[in-house]
Structure 1
Amino acid sequence: MGDSIKHYHTTASDRQDRANGNENTIIKPQKHKRATTSPPENVVARIPDNLIDLEISPSAKNRTSTTSIWLIYNSVPECGEENTVELLEMLSIRNRFSHQEHDYQTPWPRYAKQRPIYINIVRDPIDRLVLNYYSRRNMSSPVTKQEIDRRNLVKPGSGTEWYHRTFEECVLQADPECRYTAGEKSFTLMIPFFCGQHNSAINDRWALQMAKLNIEQEYSVVGVLEKMDQTLSVLAKFVPRFFHEAAQVYSELVKKPSTQHKVSEDVRQVMESELYNEMELYRFIAVICDDPYKDV
């Protein structure tokens, strides 16, 4: 029997498939939800008292458990997750494991004694939020149409105006939709996917530090979408049980294209000043991704 990517989000059909001995069942990704599970006491106890001021340096240490059958990919939205999920589906057949999906960084000691293997992939925070902005304006989505209708009911024409407004206009007009003030709760950002399920793990210095600490202590690989070939090489080196021949399989995929929306340098500077925690985490991850690749 092959290894498994385990998870507690299962369906009746999945349970039936397992009862029938099908170990290659694929559960399609669910929509990202707000985290609600508080961390267990032993996880909280490991958080340093001086976390905010702690110097956390990126390292290329391989933390992959050699015995774990749990692989967790808590995908960050707009970071190539559709292509990565398809890659995992294909690898699950080739490398004999079953594939399911999860969300935020979860305190697995609460649910399992065996330490899981954590991986993730990120991209430039500004590019990610630009893509997220236009994804909310996808006319093929009923949610977009509902939002337009809702706004038009409140103020005639405002929904249409919202739909046609560019990201640059949104930023330069300081619209709340495009403001990312430190300390304010925003689950569209990258940090909540790494900082855990603490009340403070949202968008401030503490959350940034917690995200770095989790990446250093818990994650086997956090890759960078802009360096996907490099990321796949590191995954194959650090997590061969699941990512053997990943680069070859990925090259055979019909990639889902991502529309590029360029922003001016002025807008990028405004965004960088507001997203300094996100940018710092991205640079931190990029260093980690680069180091082991040198030895691949």
Structure 2
Amino acid sequence: MSRGLGILLCLTFTSIALIFVFSGQLGQNYRIATESMKQQQSVLNIVQPTVDSNHQNDSAPLVIYNRVDKCGSRSLIEITKKLGEMKGYSYHGRKYAKGTYRLSEHRLKREISFIKSLHRPGVYAPHLYYLNFEQQHFDFPIIYINIIRDPINRFVSDYNFQLFGDNRVARKTPIDPMDINKCVLMKSKKCRPTFHIGHFFCGHQKQCFEKSKALSVAEQTIERDYAVVGLTEEFNATLAVLEKVLPEFYEGAREVWDKIQKDVIGDMKSKKRFTLMQSSREVMRTRFQKDYILYHWVKARFYDQKRKFGIE
């Protein structure tokens, strides 16, 4: 055996060994970024992204962005698509109609099969409540991310969007649409108490729709399974944290955003808006009490990540 061939074989076996070691590490749940993460090379860099579906790396991860509606998800999706083209990973979108984010047992099984079929490494971004994969026997790593927003501001944005759409999504607006403040006062269906944001982190199980349990389950899920939960109000800082925690997917995100921001924001400009009065805000703050508890808890967690990475 020539010396050159021996070196080549040695490097090949070393690479294979590293893939096994790091793919096992990837399988662990991502928790709040620790100081050691700043000192070590990302565990994801062992993954060699490829767009060739015939040569998929079985240990390659799937990032699931089960996006909360009206929290900046279209902006992050556009960034993700651009980065996927640059880095060679896949983007997968799927539309679920509003009000169908909770799946029946039959639809859950179909969703699991669909996720298993997706090309990896990749990012999957549906509007969908959290799915617990612990008992699904996935043989590749799942990494969760999300972005949330001040609950009342999210509610106002969604109310206006559903009525009037924006420059990208057209709506057939009623001749005499109900003013948002009247909706709040009359406790119309669209303005009743909900745990809207929380359901995206709690999931589909029965306990997530029980008032006494949903909040604690949502917090436990975020702590255990979410690499990053950012804030719409701090979108650039969210991108900075994603760049640190998931560089193989999101390194360069802020640079991409600088280039496309003007066009994306222009597309999402509302055609018309109702303004929520302060008195109505106070009413909705009471109705969104649990969402606000979760929001402030996530905010503190996100600030902790920012401090650990030295992000302003």
Distance 1:221 1:98 in 2: 20
Instruction: Report the secondary structure of 2:207's partner residue.
Output: coil
Distance 2:253 2:303 in 1: 18
Question: How do 1:69-88 residues align onto structure 2 when only pairs under 5 Å count?
Answer: 69-88=61-80
Residue 255 of structure 1: aligned partner? 264
TM-aligned CA deviation for residue 65 of structure 1: 6.4
Question: How do 1:146-165 residues align onto structure 2 when only pairs under 5 Å count?
Answer: 148=174, 160-161=175-176, 163=177, 165=178
Residue 41 of structure 1: aligned partner? none
For residues 42-100 of structure 1, give each alpha carbon's deviation from its aligned partner in whole angstroms, at most 9, with x where no partner exists: xxxxxxxxxxxxxxxxx843599647521111111111111111111001012220011
Is 1:273 aligned with 2:286?
yes
Residue 209 of structure 1: aligned partner? 216
Residue 61 of structure 1: aligned partner? 33
Residue 231 of structure 1: aligned partner? 238
TM-aligned CA deviation for residue 104 of structure 1: 2.0
Distance 2:258 2:215 in 1: 34
For residues 5-33 of structure 1, give each alpha carbon's deviation from its aligned partner in whole angstroms, at most 9, with x where no partner exists: xxxxxxxxxxxxxxxxxxxxxxxxxxxxx
Instruction: Report the secondary structure of 1:118's partner residue.
Output: strand
Which stretches in structure 2 are left out of the alignment for 5+ residues? Answer: 1-30, 47-59, 93-124
AA partner of residue 129 (structure 1): F
Identity of aligned residues (%): 26
Distance 1:65 1:212 in 2: 25
Report if the CA contact (8 A) 2:193-2:288 is conserved: yes
Match of residue 127, structure 1, among 141, 147, 153: 153
Distance 2:300 2:32 in 1: 8
Q: Which has the higher helix share?
A: 2
Distance 2:43 2:284 in 1: 38
Aligned-CA RMSD value: 2.5
AA partner of residue 128 (structure 1): R
Residue 54 of structure 1: aligned partner? none
Is 1:104 aligned with 2:148?
no
AA partner of residue 137 (structure 1): L
Distance 1:79 1:139 in 2: 15
Distance 2:194 2:218 in 1: 18
**Residues 139, 89 of structure 1: CA spacing in aligned structure 2 closer, same or farther, 3 A cutoff?**
closer
Match of residue 175, structure 1, among 185, 188, 197: 188
Residue 115 of structure 1: aligned partner? 141
TM-score (ref. length: structure 2)? 0.63
Which stretches in structure 1 are left out of the alignment for 5+ residues? Answer: 1-58, 149-159, 183-188
TM-aligned CA deviation for residue 258 of structure 1: 4.3
Is 1:196 aligned with 2:203?
yes
**Residues 180, 203 of structure 1: CA spacing in aligned structure 2 closer, same or farther, 3 A cutoff?**
farther
TM-aligned CA deviation for residue 192 of structure 1: 1.2
AA partner of residue 145 (structure 2): I
Distance 2:291 2:223 in 1: 16
**Residues 251, 111 of structure 1: CA spacing in aligned structure 2 closer, same or farther, 3 A cutoff?**
farther
TM-aligned CA deviation for residue 232 of structure 1: 0.7
For residues 252-282 of structure 1, give each alpha carbon's deviation from its aligned partner in whole angstroms, at most 9, with x where no partner exists: 1122344475422211111111110001111
Distance 2:73 2:194 in 1: 26
AA partner of residue 285 (structure 2): E
Instruction: Report the secondary structure of 1:216's partner residue.
Output: helix
AA partner of residue 250 (structure 1): W
Larger CA deviation: 263-272 vs 83-92: 263-272
Q: How many aligned residue pairs are there? A: 217
Residue 218 of structure 1: aligned partner? 225
AA partner of residue 85 (structure 2): I
Distance 2:210 2:259 in 1: 38
Look at both structures and tell me which one has the larger radius of gyration over its CA atoms: 2
TM-aligned CA deviation for residue 175 of structure 1: 2.3
TM-aligned CA deviation for residue 197 of structure 1: 1.8
Distance 1:208 1:265 in 2: 26
TM-score (ref. length: structure 1)? 0.66
